[in-house]
Amino acid sequence: MRNPQLNRNGELTHLLTLDGLPRDIVTHILDTAETFAPLAEREVKKVPLLRGKSVFNLFFENSTRTRTTFEIAAKRLSADVYNLNINASSTSKGESLLDTISNLSAMQADLFVVRHSASGAPHLIAQHVAPHVHVVNAGDGWHAHPTQGLLDMFTIRHYKHDFTKLTVAIVGDVQHSRVARSDIHALTTLGVPEVRVIGPMTLLPGGLEQMGVRVFHDMREGLRDVDVVIMLRLQNERMRGALLPSPQEYYKQYGLTAEKLALAKPDAIVMHPGPMNRGVEIESSVADGPQAVILNQVTFGIAVRMAVMSIVAGSTND
């Protein structure tokens, strides 16, 4: 069965998930992002690759960081960018998602960047847009956040170079995290020999071992000798029922402190997709410390999103 993200020539025409995306496509995105990263240092930060194209940011969920980096990325590619205030739009008046997309397509949209609380919404849109229109998933439900996964891979490659020699730990609320799922798919695709997931049983989904990861409930044991630590936010807004005794107890067991980080390799890097809850999943001295590359992730995110949009918009969907 053909991957719905790829056209008949094997080119990336939508980015919906990293699950099942071939390694050469993932590497091509990272390599392309590498060429865009130096733009941030230039006086003129624009390239003309998407000149004349219209990019619509459709964020049905709030996100300042992701929406802003997509907007900056599209503008640096010279696209015309439209940010829709969804809460004030027709969807809040009862219009269906696909009717909204049809109306925006009639305004000559070329690319939709979609964030939605419902898993699968970007896939649904991709199935119904015209052949020349492209869809990039900016996060859907608990399912996937592929550009965050890619910028995490870009960050790891920047600091660690060779994925095939790494041990990576993902810590925290994996159950409700689309970032964790995208990171796991990307890390295993890129050949990381050991991916660890660390968290309480109530915050880890079933079937993780089938995804090729090792599961730890003891954080100290899970962090021992790792090269990369990816911390996750507690997603309280997605939790149903009492999954934790208290934030204080969670921090005691699973918060990243300097003492726990010392169990990792001395040159281990600390990552976080943001926003951070200081004192809940990470200690401020670690978040602001020399091993943290959290702000670099945000910076790299612009280059990675430029790469994704330039690649999908340059393909032909047939």
Which tens digit of pLDDT belongs to each residue from 230-272?
999 986 544 444 456 677 888 999 999 999 999 999 999 999 9
From the candidates 2, 93, 161, 240, which is the catalytic residue?
Answer: 93
Is residue 75 part of an annotated ligand binding site?
no
145 is in an annotated binding site: yes
What does the angle CA 264 – CA 268 – CA 270 come to, to the nearest 5 degrees? 100
- Look at the block and give the residue holding tokens 């060429």: 35
Long-range contacts formed by 93-98: CB under 8 A, 24+ apart: 97/121, 97/124, 97/125, 98/124, 98/125, 98/128
Q: Is 65 annotated as a binding residue?
A: yes
Give tens-digit pLDDT for 92-113: 545 688 988 999 899 999 999 9
- Active-site residue (options: 115, 134, 176, 196): 115
Q: Would residue 93 show up in a list of annotated catalytic residues for this protein?
A: yes
Q: In this predicted structure, which of 61-65, 180-184, 224-228 has the lowest mean pLDDT?
A: 61-65
Match 């010392």 to its residue by tokens: 262
148 marked as binding residue: yes
| pLDDT confidence bin for 87, thresholds 50/70/90 | low
pLDDT tens, position by position, 10-49: 999 999 999 999 999 999 999 999 999 999 888 888 999 9
Give yes or no: 66 in active site: yes
Q: Is 8 annotated as a binding residue?
A: no
Catalytic residue list contains 65: yes
Annotated catalytic residue within 14, 76, 143, 145: 145
Distances (CA, A) of 176 to 202, 252, 296: 11, 20, 24
Residue 189 assigned as binding residue: no
181 annotated to a ligand binding site? no
Q: How confident is the model at residue 226 (pLDDT cuts 50, 70, 90)?
A: very high
How does the average pLDDT of the chain come out, rounded? 91
- The crossing angle, in degrees rounded to 10, of helices 146-160 and 294-313 is 120
Is 233 annotated as a binding-site member?
yes
Q: How confident is the model at residue 316 (pLDDT cuts 50, 70, 90)?
A: low
Distance CA 169, CA 229 (A): 5
Contact between 171 and 217 under an 8 Å Cβ cutoff? The reply is no
Q: Which of 65, 132, 158, 217 is catalytic?
A: 65
Q: Which residues contact residue 36 at a Cβ distance below 8 angstroms, ignoring those fewer than 6 apart?
A: 47, 76, 302, 303, 306, 307
Residue type, 161: H
278 is in an annotated binding site: no
Average pLDDT over residues 70-98: 80
Instruction: Classify 155 in phi/psi space as left (phi over 0), alpha (psi -120 to 50) or beta.
Output: alpha
Is 178 known as a binding-site position? yes
Is 60 exceeded by the pLDDT of residue 317? no
**What are the distances in angstroms from CA 175 to CA 39, 47, 142, 151?**
37, 39, 8, 21
Better-scored residue on pLDDT, 279 or 95: 279
Mean pLDDT of 297-309: 97
Catalytic residue among 13, 14, 17, 66: 66
Which domains does the chain show, CATH number per domain? 23-144+301-313 (3.40.50.1370), 146-298 (3.40.50.1370)
Question: What is the pLDDT at residue 238?
Answer: 43
Which pTM does this prediction carry? 0.93
